[in-house]
Amino acid sequence: MSSIDKANELLKSDPQQAEQIYKSVLSSNDSDDRDQEVALVKLGQIYADRKDAAALAEVVKSSRAFMSSTAKAKTAKLIRTLIDFFSLIPGSESTQKQVLEDNITWARQEKRIFLKQSLETRLVALDLQTQAYRPALALIETLLRELKRLDDKLILTEVHLLESRVYRGIGNFPKSKAALTSARTAANSIYCPPYLQAQLDLQSGVLHAEDKDYKTAYSYFFEVFENLSTNDDPGALAALKYMLLCKIMLNLPEDVTSLLQIKLAAKYVQLREVDSMRAVARAHQNRNLAEFELALKEYREELSTDPTIRSHLAALYDTLLEQNLLRIVEPYSVVDVDHVAEVVGQGRAQVEAKLSQMILDKILSGVLDQGRGCLIIFDPQEDDALYENAIKTVEQVGKVVDSLYAKASSGSSFVD
């Protein structure tokens, strides 16, 4: 039995002993390349299971001596595999960034251009994850210049997609859309892997949702959900949540239940992420602001960590608050602001600010009396068509006068 086989058997029962065997394989000059490659990956897996980011970083660093003597394609695959293990370690972003920067420097010195660009793309994704938008944009600019010169369409597509996400993160939607268009243009000229195609469609759906075009966004999210769920990709859950969000924002919360009954959604129904969207849909259907706030509080982690869901639910909260305020003040001609705040369950200052905004937006016809602390609501006024008809009559008379003047002028010229 080889050392690798023995370590593999001990991996579950005695991981520390297996770790020592893997290290001995790496340090031995007699080990072949295949065994050393397996030992590196297994060590990375052990440290990822232990959540030991520093030890994993050391494995990546020590692997360079081995990778210097191996084929470039194999090197790129191996180092990406090791760096992928960092995603299993919570809070390891700073260590992962340092490892990426060190390996980018090493790849540049070794003139491994493809590996350098691949690692730089990974670094952009990490900067996006940590909301470090400025360094991400600077690195994207450098990458795009190199990739356009080399005409590497696949990585170019990935970088343009990341560029679109970064611009969306800083709120520059026109540039985000332009970058997504560039990504799709590059993708159309090559074979686009299904996962990358799903990410392009997901970003398209997100941008359409930002434009309040929820029907088109829903169709993109459904395509992504079908694509990813058939391959058991964990990203399918995010697409399903976005589909449910679109139904809620389209004022169709009752469709959430029927959507969750389709075959592909069956395995996600019992998850808290789906329960959170179901609770929001129920609150929206009941037009109950207190129930909506309770759902936001109970499912804070599920609803607040995703910026897309967070921003749209904030808009939905404003809509629900408006609807509740209109329902409360409708029977009154004069109503105390404190009473409105008490009924709606919000602070006086917040209710007063919202009522002011509704009056300015002409959603509510009235005025706030600050001295008395009340809202005076005006009776709805019927449009008086007399003024508009008079304006139209004057316009027509003006046209007649102009026509008569033109005829008189032409007749005068003829007589002369």
DSSP character for 267? G
Q: Cα separation of 62 and 326, whole Å?
A: 66
Does position 206 have pLDDT exceeding 90, yes or no? yes
Residue bearing the bigger pLDDT, 151 or 191: 191
Q: Cα separation of 14 and 22, whole Å?
A: 13
- HSE-up (13 A, CA, CB side) for residue 30: 3
Q: Amino acid identity, residue 82?
A: L
- Please name the residue ranges forming H helices in 50-131: 53-67, 72-84, 93-109, 113-129
Backbone angles phi, psi at 336, to 5 degrees: -75, 135
Does position 416 have pLDDT exceeding 70, yes or no? no
Sign of CA dihedral 54, 59, 65, 70: negative
Strands of 334-336's sheet in order across: 334-336, 374-377, 366-369
Nearest to 47 by CA among 84, 13, 3, 10: 84
Transcribe 2-62 into DSSP letters: -HHHHHHHHHHH-HHHHHHHHHHHHH-SSS-HHHHHHHHHHHHHHHHHTT-HHHHHHHHHH
Encoded tokens for 64: 């360079």
Confidence of residue 167 (pLDDT cuts 50, 70, 90): very high
pLDDT at position 342: 87
Confidence of residue 45 (pLDDT cuts 50, 70, 90): confident
DSSP character for 152? -
pTM for the model: 0.78
Q: Cα separation of 40 and 288, whole Å?
A: 56
Encoded tokens for 86: 């960092």
Mean local confidence (pLDDT), 366-379: 86
Transcribe 334-390 into DSSP letters: EEEHHHHHHHHTS-HHHHHHHHHHHHHTTSS-EEEETTTTEEEEPPPPPP-HHHHHH
Which residues are CB-contacts of 231 (< 8 A; sequence separation ≥ 6)?
Answer: 194, 195
DSSP 3-state helix, strand, coil percentages of the chain (rounded to 5)? 75, 5, 20
Average pLDDT, the chain: 86
Residues 130 and 91 sit within 8 Å (Cβ to Cβ): no
Residues 329 and 340 sit within 8 Å (Cβ to Cβ): yes
Nearest to 161 by CA among 180, 143, 178: 180
133-150 vs 153-169: helix crossing angle, rounded to 10: 160
Does position 29 have pLDDT exceeding 70, yes or no? no
Lowest mean pLDDT among 172-181, 220-229, 326-335: 326-335
pLDDT at position 31: 66
Encoded tokens for 79: 């180092």
Cβ-count burial 130-155 (b if 16+ within 10 Å, e if not): eebbeebbebbeebbebbeeeebbeb
pLDDT at position 383: 65
Q: Give Cα separations from 415 to 289, 405, 408, 411 (angstroms).
A: 80, 16, 11, 6
Q: How many helices (H) and strands (E) does the chain have?
A: 21, 3
Residues 199 and 185 sit within 8 Å (Cβ to Cβ): no
Q: Cα separation of 411 and 402, whole Å?
A: 14
pLDDT at position 386: 78
Encoded tokens for 206: 């997100």
Confidence of residue 128 (pLDDT cuts 50, 70, 90): very high
pLDDT at position 201: 95
Q: Give Cα separations from 5 to 9, 56, 251 (angstroms).
A: 6, 22, 59
What 3-state class would DSSP assign to 129? helix
Mean local confidence (pLDDT), 108-131: 89
Percent of the chain beyond pLDDT 70? Answer: 95
Does position 306 have pLDDT exceeding 80, yes or no? yes
